[in-house]
Amino acid sequence: GENVEQHPSTLSVQEGDSAVIKCTYSDSASNYFPWYKQELGKRPQLIIDIRSNVGEKKDQRIAVTLNKTAKHFSLHITETQPEDSAVYFCAASDGSGTYKYIFGTGTRLKVLA
Amino acid sequence: DADVTQTPRNRITKTGKRIMLECSQTKGHDRMYWYRQDPGLGLRLIYYSFDVKDINKGEISDGYSVSRQAQAKFSLSLESAIPNQTALYFCATSDPRLGSNQPQHFGDGTRLSIL
């Protein structure tokens, strides 16, 4: 079946540094790529998304890049803060038009003060 | 604010029991989903529904069933619970009126423990 791989599984950075989380997908027909943040004990919440007709999207300290040829996309967080500590999930739409998403296995980000 | 509400938030039960997890939403979204979250495995789709008459299996539907009682309600049942169904369960919704692929909005989750 279709698959989304996410790396690394854990990431520790010093406050103020940048963090990068990478995902690769297998379905070449995927065209929508959301990123979710899940704080401890909370629900996953959308933080940014990108569609396949765009190569990069930014929202303040967060950016996502997409390389359709290589079938990978990345989340970039700059000037990290302690409140960025959470689990981050990437996802890719199922290219068969069923409006399902395939999620990565998550990255636990720790921002050290 | 429009929201996705899951009940119960926590449940402990015994092997072999029948359990129902409920999800209701006030977002007016047609699409609803049930996921299971296990450490290191991310979110895996159990069932999804695009309207009251449309129910589809996800990647891990064995041992589960669902009912879409109304546009706003989507319930997940474990007919005979087993310990490896211990997990965090999330309901989610999305709005097809905004276009093909849209973000999914999650409830707060139900933490289920089966002894």
Q: What is the pLDDT of residues A78-111, one digit of tens each?
A: 999 999 999 999 999 987 777 889 999 999 999 9
- CA of B109 to nearest chain A CA: how many angstroms apart? 7
* Record: contact A44-B90, CB cut-off 8 A: yes
**C-alpha span between B36 and B76 (Å, rounded):** 11
- CA of B14 to nearest chain A CA: how many angstroms apart? 24
pLDDT surpassing 80 at residue B2: no
Helix (H, G, I), strand (E, B) or coil at A108: strand
Residues 6+ positions from A59 with CB-CB distance below 8 Å: A47, A48
Contact B110, B8 (CB under 8 A): yes
Nearest residue in A to B43, CA atom: A103
In chain B, what percentage of residues exceed pLDDT 90?
A: 87
* Record: contact A103-B42, CB cut-off 8 A: yes
| Mean pLDDT along residues B65-85 | 96
DSSP designation for A15: T
CB atoms within 10 A of CB A88: 23
- CA of A3 to nearest chain B CA: how many angstroms apart? 11
User: Which residue of B33, B43, B108 to mutate against A (max A Cβ within 10 Å)?
Assistant: B43
pLDDT surpassing 70 at residue A1: no
